[in-house]
Structure 1
Amino acid sequence: MSVEIGLFADTGDDSAGAPEAVTAGPAEALQLVFGSAEEFLHEQLLPTYVRDVDDRSAKWCMEWYFHPEAVSRVEALWRAWEHLRLDGATGISIWWRDHADHHMRILLDPQGPFYNCDRTAHRDPEHLEPKLAPDGWFPDVRVQ
């Protein structure tokens, strides 16, 4: 029996122990469901992770791709989803608990990466401009 929950699929067969796609031979490459983090955001994440974004308790920027932290977090969510969707036993739960809930709480936080934006306008975030440490404090460990 196969059950689909969103784009996660539960084969219902836990007897094998490992997801079928993980045990595929080296010649068989795993196929991604989504071709990019943006496609994942539009097709899976935002349609299933629905919240009231009122700019007081939650914020989002319609031009989220101008925020490097947001891009990195959406990319992380997508890659984790693509990996965990293959686990028919607990993959969905792990993805929600450890990935979606964690990253979306930070992304939607009014003090998060979209703090300077509102629902209708993107405003470039202010970037920290730290000074470089004195020479020798952080030697390049790649050099021998």
Structure 2
Amino acid sequence: MNGPVRLAELTARVKNVEDDLECLGSVLDDIREGKFHGVCAPPPRPGNRSGGGQGDEPTGPYFGSLLEFVLDGFAPVYCRATSPTVRWCPRWWDHAEAIYRLEALWRTWELYRLEPRMGIASWLRDYLDPQLAALTSPTGPFAQCTDDRHSPIKPLRLEYPPEGYFDDL
């Protein structure tokens, strides 16, 4: 009985490695074609530099919106093969918790990218890793979704407290 189970496990692992290689290959192609520059050393963007004095200091966010951050900064870099233990939804924008967490990632990335020494390393450890684990968790916001099925989770059920309950706080 061990033979078929082991073969199935190895087949699944090979498939995951192939998926990862395909994703990394597309990122490398984009880098070679100048379409993507990575999140650690973004290229100068028009309107993002001050004009005069120390003109090398950024004056605004690198990504203009959450959508731009997710499409151009997050998704091309953080490739994951979805599985029962790694969840993602192509309609990420239709999950309130995902928007909240991705917005937090974007805003903290904008701050930490300016730290020349440990900024990105600290951001990865302190922000990305825990948020990515929560986002892609089997119990996270995409728990009921698959690559081809969007199924949002219902909000927590709430009851309103009696009138005046929080007046003394």
What range describes the TM-score normalised by the shorter chain of this pair?
0.7 to 0.9
Runs of 4+ displaced beyond 4 Å:
none
Deviates more, 1:119-128 or 1:95-104: 119-128
Aligned-residue Cα RMSD (Å) equals 2.5
Aligned-partner residue type, residue 119 of structure 1: D
Q: Report the Cα distance in structure 2 between the residues aligned to 1:50 and 1:140, rounded to whole angstroms.
A: 49
Distance 1:80 1:121 in 2: 30
The answer for the alignment partner of 2:15 in structure 1 is none
Instruction: Give, as a single letter, the amino acid of the residue that structure 1 aligns with 2:41.
Output: A
Q: Which has the higher strand share?
A: 1
| TM-score, structure 1 as length reference | 0.76
Does the aligned pair in 2 maintain the 1:59–1:114 contact within 8 Å? yes
Aligned-residue offset at 1:140:
8.3
- What is the CA deviation profile of residues 57-89 of structure 1, one whole-angstrom value per residue up to 9, with x for unaligned ones? 111011011110000111110000011000010
Aligned length: 122
Partner of 1:106: 134
Structure label with greater radius of gyration: 2
Q: What does residue range 90-129 of structure 1 map to in structure 2 within 5 Å? A: 90-129=118-157
Aligned counterpart for 1:7 among listed residues 30, 39, 46? 39
Residue ranges of structure 2 left out of the alignment (5+ in a row): 1-36, 43-49
**What is the aligned-residue identity percentage?**
37
Distance 1:29 1:91, change over 3 A: closer
Query: What is the distance in 1 between the residues matched to 2:82 and 2:121?
Result: 24
TM-score, normalised on structure 2?
A: 0.65
User: Equivalent residues in 2 for 1:72-91 (5 A)?
Assistant: 72-91=100-119
Structure 1 residue ranges without an equivalent (≥5): 11-20
Paired residue for 1:45? Answer: 74
Q: Equivalents in 2 of 1:88, 1:140: separation in Å?
A: 47
User: Are the counterparts in 1 of residues 89 and 146 from structure 2 also a CA contact under 8 Å?
Assistant: yes
Partner Cα distance (1:114, 1:96) in 2: 21
